[in-house]
Amino acid sequence: MSESKKRLTNEESRRQTATLKPAELSLFCYQLSVIFHSGIPLLDGMKLFADEMDNATLKKVGNQLYQDVYRGKTFYESISQQPLFPAYMVGMLAIAEQTGRLDQETLRLSSYYERLDAIEQKVKNSIVYPVILGVMMGAVILLLIFRVLPLFHQILESIGGQVPASTRAMINLSQSLLQYSSVLLVGVLTLGALLWLYQRSAEGKRQFDRIRLSLPVVGTFTRKMIAFRLSHAMSLLVGGGLSFNEALAMCEGIVDNHLARTELNQCRNSIESGNSPQEAFHEMTTIPSLMKKMVSLGIQTGELDGFLARSTNVYEKETERSLHRLTSSIEPALVFVLSVIVGIILLAVMFPLVRILSTIG
């Protein structure tokens, strides 16, 4: 197996096992930035880090890092062996160590994960009300299906009323669901477990990555996030003296999407085959057009690192805007869908009943 494929396999394994929360990652990176800014030797810094850390998980990680550094390993070698850290963080620390910017990059990563934690909290807060509303409406829907509709059916049969075809179909559906409720529950739980296991596999992750890129709103956000991470990493590498192709090789590990990593690898192979970097980079479908143009201009003017830095600023802001629009649309969308479902059931029950009662009256 080639070194590139080994690296991709390791990154996919890491993505499946990373469990540290953004708040913990932010704290970890901040403590590292303090150590690197203070000029303390790495071994002493890792010992201080492990002794001062209150978080039990990070304290354990700190002790392991100290032991690795004590045995003569580099900082990146120690970090890369910890499966709790996400691929993006490990890849950026590797780039920062190579370019001599560990103090700056750990502080930036701390801010990045702090913002990510704030975003996750915002997403959670924005869906708390819809989730509560969804549970309550789900209970109402189940009550209507399993209790009200059968009772309504009995009333209609007793008074000899004509049941509309749509209402009769809904009544038949409720009776079938009630009869096979245990089988349906087992089936839903089994299907959910199988999907969960599949999306954790390598092939499942690849398929979900493709689906995520094809969705209208989520796909746009994902492309902007890829562009932000790629622009930042490449600006550091190119600014540190690496060639465009060497920078692409190191950036494969920080991109959290299989299709994008595959295209980065194809881009490198295309350049090595004799194609220009502009042409090879332009063929990537997971990169927004604006970033392609900025890279092309940077190569033509000889100021690639500067254009990449501008691209980083642009897509950092665009990512935040897209995420804000995405989270702000969750609540009204859920409320609308649930309201429509409940409304359809209530109308199917009430209209025939009102019509029959008015006929009797």
Closest CA to 69 of 35, 23, 117: 35
Out of 81-90, 144-153, 190-199, 335-344, the most confident range is 190-199
Q: Residue 277 phi/psi, 5° resolution?
A: -60, -35
Of 25-29, 41-45, 239-243, 326-330, the range with the lowest mean pLDDT is 326-330
Out of 36-45, 254-263, 297-306, the most confident range is 297-306
Read off the pLDDT of residues 69-83 as tens digits, 9 standing for 90 and up: 888 888 888 888 888
CB 283 within 8 A of CB 277: no
Q: Is the pLDDT of residue 3 over 60?
A: no
CB 139 within 8 A of CB 163: no
Q: Is the pLDDT of residue 349 over 70?
A: no
Cβ within 8 Å of residue 36, ≥6 positions away = 45, 102, 103, 106
- pLDDT for residue 77: 83
pLDDT-derived band of residue 53, with 50, 70 and 90 as boundaries? confident
Average pLDDT over every residue of 154-181: 70
What is the end-to-end Cα distance of the chain in Å, rounded? 82
Task: Count CB neighbours of 253 within 10 A.
Answer: 23
- pLDDT for residue 16: 45
* Cα distance between residue 129 and residue 331, in whole Å: 8
CB 257 within 8 A of CB 222: yes
Average pLDDT over every residue of 326-348: 74
* Cα distance between residue 74 and residue 39, in whole Å: 16
- pLDDT for residue 17: 46
Average pLDDT over every residue of 301-321: 86
Domains recognised in the chain with CATH numbers: 3-114 (1.20.81.30), 127-361 (1.20.81.30)
Q: What is the Cα Rg of the chain in Å?
A: 28
- pLDDT for residue 180: 78
Read off the pLDDT of residues 251-265 as tens digits, 9 standing for 90 and up: 877 777 888 888 888
* Cα distance between residue 181 and residue 321, in whole Å: 43
